[in-house]
């Protein structure tokens, strides 16, 4: 007899992001799939974490995280994000930004409540919401600029809407929401008394304009929870240190949920990230310039092999479409490219409300060391501008 399995996990499966990352590792390919960010972390961050280990910072921290890190987060929220917050009551350190989002969803939403998400989306957001029994309502973003219509946004709100999620700079599109768009969201969230949760984990990776935080807008501040983290900023995705900043009433609840689920983020690593937040402005300038060069290399490569890349304004991902018929669908394209040239990507279908909308797209991650990205691009160029010979070409056209 089958052993009992909870209904809430009966439909969940490993994400395509992780799936193709694992297949890539098994075949020894170059991983442009999962945003693992395999680049060296800054020495200051590593040294401070090592010192904390040597100094026996080995026990549970405060359930909101060490005050040194909360104070450093509050300072950077003021200086970089334009958000005033009290490190004692309005900041909590979490187990990665995914941990922040889990605590937020559990603290803000009942099963059956609705959360609005823009599509394409980061699948972990949607899957976590569904795990918690939340109904996801989608607003479609249309390429190339990933715009939505005000009508669609208004229509997504109902009397059961309790949260709207904005991820800016965006995973997977690279979209950076404009001030007008953030104000749109703020106005409607206010009208429907919904929380705004913003995932700003890619805040330091913008190319054309400075990052704009939702909570820096007075119209939004009181109902916005800002999520961020160290993973991307310091290339430490496996350290699992994230943070939440928002009104004390919700941070209070989230801190208790954080305690129940995780107790605290890893203690010595919190010290490492505290040191990271003390790095000079030049660190961030160099990071941006480095990602810009990587974006250009990948965009140029994709163009030469017949893809249409949607050039990102931020983050370190891009979606690119391929000519319909070149491969039967996005999963077939991902598998074929991995097999043919050893480069892993993620099928675009993994990111859409209607997977059909992403069947001619792939997501590429360029958070790699330049030498690895150059290797990946050299491999991709071997694909050529089309693979008509292998394409699923309808029989009627073959006779032409």
Binding footprint of ligand GLN on the chain (CB under 6 A):
17-18, 34-35, 122, 124, 171
Considering the complex, what minimum distance in angstroms separates the CB of residue 238 from ligand GLN?
10
Nearer to ligand GLN, 35 or 87 (CB): 35
In the complex, minimum distance from the CB of residue 18 to ligand GLN, in angstroms, rounded to a whole number: 5
Smallest gap from residue 273 Cβ to ligand GLN (A): 17
Residue with Cβ nearer ligand GLN (119 or 171): 171
- Comparison of 17 and 164: residue with beta carbon closer to ligand GLN: 17
Choose between 243 and 271: whose C-beta lies nearer to ligand GLN.
Answer: 243
Q: Show the beta-strand stretches assigned E in the chain.
A: 30-31, 91-94, 114-119, 135-140, 161-167, 195-199, 224-229, 242-245, 308-309, 317-321, 343-344, 346-347, 361-365
Shortest approach of ligand GLN to residue 35 CB, angstroms?
3
If the CB atoms of residues 31 and 216 are measured against ligand GLN, the closer one turns out to be 31
- Rounded-to-integer distance, Cα 355 and Cα 127, Å: 14
Strand-pairing partners, residue 38, are 368
Cα 113 to Cα 170: distance, rounded to the nearest angstrom? 24
What token pair was written down for 13?
């499966």
Closer CB to ligand GLN, 307 or 351, in the complex:
351
Buried b (16+ CB within 10 A) or exposed e, 330-367: bbebbbbbbeebbbbbbbbbbbbbeeebbbbbbbbbbb
Rounded to a whole number of angstroms, the minimum distance from the CB of residue 10 to ligand GLN is 21
CA atoms within 13 A on the CB side of 37: 20
**Nearer Cβ to ligand GLN (120/246):** 120
Q: Which residues pair with 151 in a beta bridge?
A: none
CB of 149 to ligand GLN, least distance (A): 26
- Provide, rounded to whole angstroms, the least separation between the CB of residue 124 and ligand GLN: 5
Of 35 and 174, nearer to ligand GLN (C-beta) is 35
**Nearer Cβ to ligand GLN (29/35):** 35
CB 347 within 8 A of CB 266: no
**Nearest position to ligand GLN, beta carbon:** 35
CA distance linking residue 295 with residue 313, whole number of Å: 10
Distance, CA of 77 to chain centre: 19
Calpha distance 273→148 (Å, rounded):
36
Cα separation of 342 and 379, whole Å? 7
* Identity of the residue, 103 or 250, whose beta carbon is nearer to ligand GLN in the bound complex: 103
How would DSSP label each residue in 112-135?
T-EEEEEES--HHHHHHHHHTTPE
Shortest distance in whole angstroms from residue 68 CB to ligand GLN: 26
Q: Is 178 exposed, middle or buried (0-12, 13-18, 19+ CB in 10 A)?
A: middle
Q: Is 177 helix (H, G, I), strand (E, B) or coil?
A: coil
Least Å from the CB of residue 282 to ligand GLN: 26
CB of 96 to ligand GLN, least distance (A): 9
Asked if 211 and 204 count as a contact pair (C-beta separation under 8 A), the reply is yes
- Distance between start and end Cα atoms, the chain: 57
């Amino acid at each position: 007899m089958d052993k009992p399995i909870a209904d809430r996990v009966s439909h969940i499966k490993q994400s395509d992001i992780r799936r193709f990352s694992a297949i890539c590792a098994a075949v020894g390919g170059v991983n442009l799939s999962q945003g693992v960010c395999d680049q060296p972390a800054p020495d200051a961050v590593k040294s401070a974490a090592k010192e904390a280990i040597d100094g026996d910072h080995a026990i549970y921290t405060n359930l909101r995280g060490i005050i040194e890190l909360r104070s450093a987060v509050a300072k950077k929220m003021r200086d970089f994000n334009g958000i005033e917050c009290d490190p004692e009551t309005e900041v909590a350190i979490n187990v990665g930004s995914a941990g922040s989002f889990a605590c937020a969803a559990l603290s803000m939403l009942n099963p059956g409540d609705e959360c609005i998400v823009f599509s394409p989306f980061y699948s972990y957001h949607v899957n976590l919401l569904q795990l918690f029994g939340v109904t996801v309502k989608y607003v479609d973003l249309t390429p190339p600029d990933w715009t939505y219509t005000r009508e669609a946004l208004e229509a997504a709100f109902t009397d059961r809407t309790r949260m709207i999620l904005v991820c800016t700079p965006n995973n997977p599109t690279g979209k950076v929401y404009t001030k007008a768009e953030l104000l749109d969201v703020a106005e409607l969230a206010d009208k429907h008394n919904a929380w705004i949760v913003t995932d700003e984990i890619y805040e330091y990776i913008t190319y054309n304009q400075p990052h704009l935080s939702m909570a820096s807008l007075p119209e939004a501040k009181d109902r916005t929870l800002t999520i961020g983290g160290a993973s991307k900023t310091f290339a430490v995705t496996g350290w699992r240190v994230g943070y939440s900043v928002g009104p004390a009433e919700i941070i209070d609840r989230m801190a208790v949920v954080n305690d129940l689920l995780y107790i605290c983020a890893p203690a010595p690593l919190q010290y490492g990230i505290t040191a990271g937040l003390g790095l000079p402005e030049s660190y961030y300038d160099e990071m941006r310039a480095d990602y810009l060069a990587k974006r250009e290399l990948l965009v140029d490569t994709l163009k030469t092999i017949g893809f249409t890349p949607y050039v990102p304004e931020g983050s370190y991902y891009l979606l690119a479409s391929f000519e319909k018929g070149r491969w039967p669908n996005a999963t077939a394209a991902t598998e074929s490219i991995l097999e043919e040239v050893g480069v892993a990507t993620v099928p675009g279908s993994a990111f859409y409300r209607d997977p059909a909308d992403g069947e001619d797209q792939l997501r590429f991650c360029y958070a790699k060391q330049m030498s690895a990205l150059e290797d990946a691009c050299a491999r991709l160029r071997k694909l050529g501008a089309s693979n008509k010979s292998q394409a699923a070409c309808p029989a009627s056209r073959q006779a032409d």
